[in-house]
Structure 1
Amino acid sequence: MSSSLQKILNNINGGSAPVELQGLAGSSKALVVSMLSKISGQSPGETAPVVVVCESFDIAEVLLHDIYYYFGREGVYFFPFWDVLPYDNFSPHKGLTAQRFQTLDALLNQQARILITTPNALMQCFLPRNDFLKNTITLTNEFVGSPDEIGKQLLNSGYIQVDVVEELGEFSTHGGILDVFPLNLEKPVRIEFSENSKAHFLKPFDIQTQHTDQTELSSLKILPAGEILFNQENIDFARKSLPEYRKECAPEVLLRLRQSLQKKEGFPGIESLSPLFYPELETLFDYFPDELILIIDEEKNVNKRADSFYQEVFMEYEISTQQNKLTLSPESLFLTHRELQTKLTKHVSLVLNSMKINNTKARTVHQLQFVDNKSLRNQFESAKATSAAGYMVQLLQKWQSSGTPVLLSAKNQTHADGFQQLLDDLGVESTAAGDQLTTNRCPWLDWLEKNDTENTSGSIPILTGKVSSGFRKLDSNGKALFVLLTEEEVFGEKTRNRRLQRAQVHQTAGNLDDLREGDHVVHLDYGIGRYHGLQKISAGGNQNEFMQLVFARDEKVYVPVENIHLVQKYVNADGTTPKLSKLGEKAWKKTRSKVAKTVENIAEELADI
């Protein structure tokens, strides 16, 4: 079925029957999502958010940045899954938790226009809306109180008290001054109180210099700092829940958890025990408003990923139980893949597929002709052109002379100016659009439907912004009706990568023959530990071999032998015994970042010689 894209999008809403668009390629999916959100935003009443489910984090991130290009950043959010495995001995990165919580806050306050997520994240259970709202703190410059009073609220909301604030989720008090680094801000904020306990000012400040900005804030929202909140209500619930698990783990495990509750302190990986702290967990579906437009990107891949993820959860569950840890059931922490598919089927409004497939589901299917530009440059030989760049110039001139809407895109204004100069030298008339024609304000629908070619005839506009790729819209005979090309698609990639990639680590890492029990080793992600030999662990019906590494506080990590490239024998020139790394703490990450930066600086100096 073929129809105008504008008509198709106009008829999609939260209550309509599902529609499937096939034949999308390049960044055209992001453009469709952006246009749909703009169209739904023109309707009277509250704007329903557009929620897009992508199969993986990487694909979601590409789509997210492409949507920034077509739609802008305002109202666009990403809700990722954790960067750690289920039942792992590690907590998710604070920056990732911040991204998740900012998205939840936007949903609860009807500020989300477009939301990108993955099946893993949708299946996950976490703190309920009521707890999230109760532990969100709002202050104004009219606030009357004391730093200690706010400090107690911050502790209940998951913030950690330190001497000097350096990281997200930290706060400190010094006399009449309170510093806090909220998860929803890029800079920490200093609150200074006057003698009558009134907030004198709220100002962002620089971590390095400790100097406050000139700009004062009239109000400050502070989101919760963690997925486990050690307030009295949650602690009391956890204490009542613990006796149920006496038979499921070693006594020392329960003792450690009781001590954490007593001190109101978490430990790495405590997030996998969230059902102990909340009577009932919720999922992202519970945070969604009643009206939404749900889009599934590559439905078959999303369902397949949900299935494999739930199998992965079960395998991690079996490994965790064999390690005698307190391990809660997968059903208490995640939706099953079948439960997810049921919810997606109930809410879905639009399915996007790059391929044309035969679908037996009862839905309207529209066939589109959007193709990517990956193979364009490689066609120069069959076209008997002298070079790929020369062939692309010929195509641009052909499209330009025929009145086909053509747009070019450069990463920034400097690139756009260079792009224009090069094209002019090759006989292609182009214009760097600059601020006169920004990507989020372009009449994309008019151009795609070829209702308005005024801005695309004659000189070819060069837009500025980062987009993963362009695309072409074709007619049934393969003729281009609309073209968007990036500078890389015209003149080829120009990459200069000095960073050490994980794949390269294979070539430099040691092997098991070099290791003896008791040797100190360095794990790329976890830091310095001791090698305690090999251990066979059964999981998912298979028996696999793991390296047992022991870190500070006698915490153990089991590394599959196929990941030996992540582990190297520790070598110290002076022969002193190294200090073992503490899992989940910042010290190793800071050391690794500092070394990586030093290596990169040296590489840059060598490259300049």
Structure 2
Amino acid sequence: MDLIELITQTPLIQNGINQSKIKTQRQLITGLASSAKTLAIASAYRKFKQQIIVASPNLYYANQLAEDLMQVTEDVYTFPVDEVLSAEMAFSSPEARTQRVLTLEALVSNKPGIYILPAASLRKYLPTPEVWENKRFYWQVGTEIDWEQLAQQLVLMGYQRESMIAKPGEFSIRGSILDIYPLTTPNPVRIELFDVEIDSIRYFDVETQRSLENLEDITILPTTELIFSQQELEKGSDRLQELLDKRLSVVSEQSDKDFLSDYFGQLIASWKQGVPGEVAAVYTDILYPDQTNILDYFSDNTLFFVDDYARILETNRQIEEEEGQWHAQKLEELRVFPEQTFGKKLQPIFQQSKFAMTFFSLFQKGMGNIRFETIHNFQYRPMQQFFGQMDLLKVEMQRWKKQQQTVVFLVSDNQRAQKLAQDFRDYEIYAVETSFDNLLSQQAQIIQGNLQSGFELPQDQLVVVTEKEIFQTVKKKRAKNKRYRMLNA
């Protein structure tokens, strides 16, 4: 029995997991926080082994939850999107783009997993799942390639053509050789053709150009989540022209008209030629008329967990406020249109969802107008900090023993486990050393494992203590600050 099995045995968790599957109901789980909530989500995934959505307030909390979940399951995907629109439009790191690409690929491949989605990601416009499925290649030795259309197809997948590739996201074509550097492979790939068939596939070193490893097959994924079909670009150029004509009819300054005509004229021409361009992300509402978002990639029977709805609403308010300011600035710069939108409205997503929904919140307040068919109230206590004081820990251990609690001490490695076991022996604290998947009910035990924080569920007789709570020391105040106060006393 491991931690997930242990927490799944508690009646409230069992009820919550079972009712999370009922599509006609919304349930609220109050009291759970931090790693206790992580284990509850992991329990639902282990039982149903299907796709689970976890909506998170922002990217910071999404990353924290992902790190915690990855300690107990490998099937965790994130879709990082910055809450600040200006930052998201200006720059996207290769790491973030890779995570988004891999998440969309997992979704169209129907992979089960826990998909952690920050609030901003739920608003983001995306290509339809059908467009995504048609914008990836699976090649084997012997596969025939349409060489004439290949360069254009790779451009629509977000790749940039270069004479010689140097970094992920680039490709080059020389004679019958394709060099391509996907975001999702450890090295660039060289593909040689014999006539129209693939003759060889291999990794190579980008610096020396020497071959590293022969491959039998390769999957080439887009370099960005924002990919477009030729049809979308053509129809988008028509819509852009309509917006431009409308704007030109109300602009009085000739210099503004000239700028608009030149700027958007070049963009329209680029789209007609099948080149999205670097600023396409600003016009996804025009290029994606269906205004698809990531939830359209999930089937109707997906479980939807909402982590801290009140904070999600607050994040959404801040996003919309910043978006309005950014839109106004770009209107002054004549680079967007008044009719444009830059994301879906968030509240209708939660109020009119097609999914079975479970909301996590510390309290029942702040849930807006959402009604719940079932409410589960947990008794939860965050684990106190012991700061290395074994006497204090010993007192708590005596209390937990009297209450017949199952106590689990988590340490990062075997060396730390041995040190903690020795400390316990020195202070006559009884705990057995065991493995992560061999926990003992109503016993105190030391195991190797990691969670972000410990907790106590008194009602469910479960205590988890991490080494951070045991050994973390009190930070001393800096001497120079004391001197500063003395000098200014």
* TM-score of the superposed pair, with normalisation by structure 1: 0.66
AA matched with 1:489: E
1:500 counterpart residue number: none
Per-residue CA shift, 1:126-157, capped at 9, x if unaligned? 22222211112121233234877644432232
1:489 counterpart residue number: 469
2:352 counterpart residue number: 343
The Cα of 1:400 is off from its aligned counterpart by 5.8
User: Is the CA contact 1:192–1:200 (under 8 Å) kept in the aligned structure 2?
Assistant: yes
| 1:4-23 equivalences in 2 (<5 Å) | 4-23=12-31
Which of 211, 218, 221 matches 1:220?
A: 218
Is the alpha carbon distance of 1:372 and 1:146 closer, same or farther for their aligned partners in structure 2, counting shifts above 3 Å? Answer: same
User: Is the CA contact 1:30–1:63 (under 8 Å) kept in the aligned structure 2?
Assistant: yes
**Structure 1 SS opposite 2:29:** strand
Is the alpha carbon distance of 1:89 and 1:251 closer, same or farther for their aligned partners in structure 2, counting shifts above 3 Å? Answer: farther
AA matched with 1:187: P
Which of 436, 457, 462 matches 1:473?
A: 457
> Are positions 1:32 and 2:40 aligned together?
yes
**Structure 2 SS opposite 1:313:** helix
AA matched with 2:472: G
1:281 counterpart residue number: 291
AA matched with 2:447: I
The Cα of 1:170 is off from its aligned counterpart by 1.8
User: Is the CA contact 2:28–2:374 (under 8 Å) kept in the aligned structure 1?
Assistant: yes
Is the alpha carbon distance of 1:160 and 1:457 closer, same or farther for their aligned partners in structure 2, counting shifts above 3 Å? Answer: same
2:201 counterpart residue number: 202
The Cα of 1:276 is off from its aligned counterpart by 3.6
The Cα of 1:91 is off from its aligned counterpart by 4.2
1:381 counterpart residue number: none
**Structure 2 SS opposite 1:188:** coil
> Are positions 1:463 and 2:462 aligned together?
no
User: Is the CA contact 1:86–1:272 (under 8 Å) kept in the aligned structure 2?
Assistant: no
| 1:392-411 equivalences in 2 (<5 Å) | 392-396=393-397, 399=400, 404-411=405-412
Q: 1:192 & 1:186 partners in 2: Cα distance?
A: 14
Q: 2:433 & 2:299 partners in 1: Cα distance?
A: 41
Per-residue CA shift, 1:260-297, capped at 9, x if unaligned? 44776555443011234344331122111121111111
The Cα of 1:102 is off from its aligned counterpart by 1.6
Is the alpha carbon distance of 1:429 and 1:18 closer, same or farther for their aligned partners in structure 2, counting shifts above 3 Å? Answer: same
2:180 counterpart residue number: 180
Higher deviation after alignment, 316-325 or 243-252: 243-252
Q: Over the residues paired in the alignment, what is the CA RMSD in angstroms?
A: 3.4
Is the alpha carbon distance of 1:156 and 1:408 closer, same or farther for their aligned partners in structure 2, counting shifts above 3 Å? Answer: same
Q: 2:321 & 2:173 partners in 1: Cα distance?
A: 46
Q: 1:138 & 1:245 partners in 2: Cα distance?
A: 39
2:112 counterpart residue number: 112
| 1:239-318 equivalences in 2 (<5 Å) | 239-246=237-244, 247=247, 250-258=260-268, 260-261=270-271, 267-318=277-328
AA matched with 2:382: D
Per-residue CA shift, 1:476-526, capped at 9, x if unaligned? xxxx8221111111011599xxxxxxxxxxxxxxxxxxxxxxxxxxxxxxx
The Cα of 1:90 is off from its aligned counterpart by 1.6
Per-residue CA shift, 1:402-443, capped at 9, x if unaligned? 75322122234454455445545554455665xx53xxx577
Q: 2:175 & 2:433 partners in 1: Cα distance?
A: 55
Q: How many residues align?
A: 452
1:157 counterpart residue number: 157
The Cα of 1:190 is off from its aligned counterpart by 2.0
AA matched with 1:404: Q
AA matched with 2:25: A
The structure showing larger relative contact order (alpha-carbon pairs under 8 Å, at least 6 residues apart) is: 2
Q: 1:428 & 1:288 partners in 2: Cα distance?
A: 49
AA matched with 2:112: A
**Structure 2 SS opposite 1:34:** helix
1:58 counterpart residue number: 60
> What are the ranges of 5 or more consecutive residues in structure 1 without an aligned counterpart?
42-46, 379-386, 444-451, 496-609
The Cα of 1:244 is off from its aligned counterpart by 1.5
The Cα of 1:160 is off from its aligned counterpart by 1.1
> What are the ranges of 5 or more consecutive residues in structure 2 without an aligned counterpart?
1-9, 249-255, 476-489
AA matched with 1:167: K
Q: 1:263 & 1:295 partners in 2: Cα distance?
A: 43
Q: 2:282 & 2:446 partners in 1: Cα distance?
A: 52
Q: 1:141 & 1:193 partners in 2: Cα distance?
A: 10
Per-residue CA shift, 1:64-83, capped at 9, x if unaligned? 1111112x113x21122247
Q: 1:99 & 1:181 partners in 2: Cα distance?
A: 16
Is the alpha carbon distance of 1:342 and 1:7 closer, same or farther for their aligned partners in structure 2, counting shifts above 3 Å? Answer: closer
Percent identity between matched residues is 18
Q: 1:416 & 1:37 partners in 2: Cα distance?
A: 29
AA matched with 2:363: M
**Structure 2 SS opposite 1:28:** helix
Is the alpha carbon distance of 1:236 and 1:358 closer, same or farther for their aligned partners in structure 2, counting shifts above 3 Å? Answer: closer
**Structure 2 SS opposite 1:308:** helix
User: Is the CA contact 2:27–2:372 (under 8 Å) kept in the aligned structure 1?
Assistant: no
The Cα of 1:239 is off from its aligned counterpart by 3.0
> Are positions 1:353 and 2:361 aligned together?
yes
User: Is the CA contact 2:56–2:312 (under 8 Å) kept in the aligned structure 1?
Assistant: yes
**Structure 2 SS opposite 1:111:** coil
Q: 2:205 & 2:452 partners in 1: Cα distance?
A: 33
User: Is the CA contact 1:191–1:200 (under 8 Å) kept in the aligned structure 2?
Assistant: no
Q: 2:42 & 2:365 partners in 1: Cα distance?
A: 24
Q: 1:413 & 1:127 partners in 2: Cα distance?
A: 47
User: Is the CA contact 1:147–1:173 (under 8 Å) kept in the aligned structure 2?
Assistant: no
**Structure 2 SS opposite 1:69:** coil
Per-residue CA shift, 1:567-587, capped at 9, x if unaligned? xxxxxxxxxxxxxxxxxxxxx
Q: 2:422 & 2:197 partners in 1: Cα distance?
A: 59
The Cα of 1:349 is off from its aligned counterpart by 2.2
Q: 1:60 & 1:416 partners in 2: Cα distance?
A: 29
1:577 counterpart residue number: none
AA matched with 1:352: F
User: Is the CA contact 1:155–1:231 (under 8 Å) kept in the aligned structure 2?
Assistant: no
Q: 1:286 & 1:123 partners in 2: Cα distance?
A: 12
The Cα of 1:122 is off from its aligned counterpart by 0.9
The Cα of 1:222 is off from its aligned counterpart by 1.9
Q: 2:177 & 2:142 partners in 1: Cα distance?
A: 15
User: Is the CA contact 1:310–1:337 (under 8 Å) kept in the aligned structure 2?
Assistant: no
Is the alpha carbon distance of 1:50 and 1:4 closer, same or farther for their aligned partners in structure 2, counting shifts above 3 Å? Answer: same
Q: 2:206 & 2:296 partners in 1: Cα distance?
A: 37
User: Is the CA contact 2:156–2:274 (under 8 Å) kept in the aligned structure 1?
Assistant: no
* TM-score of the superposed pair, with normalisation by structure 2: 0.80
Q: 1:227 & 1:115 partners in 2: Cα distance?
A: 16
The Cα of 1:245 is off from its aligned counterpart by 2.8
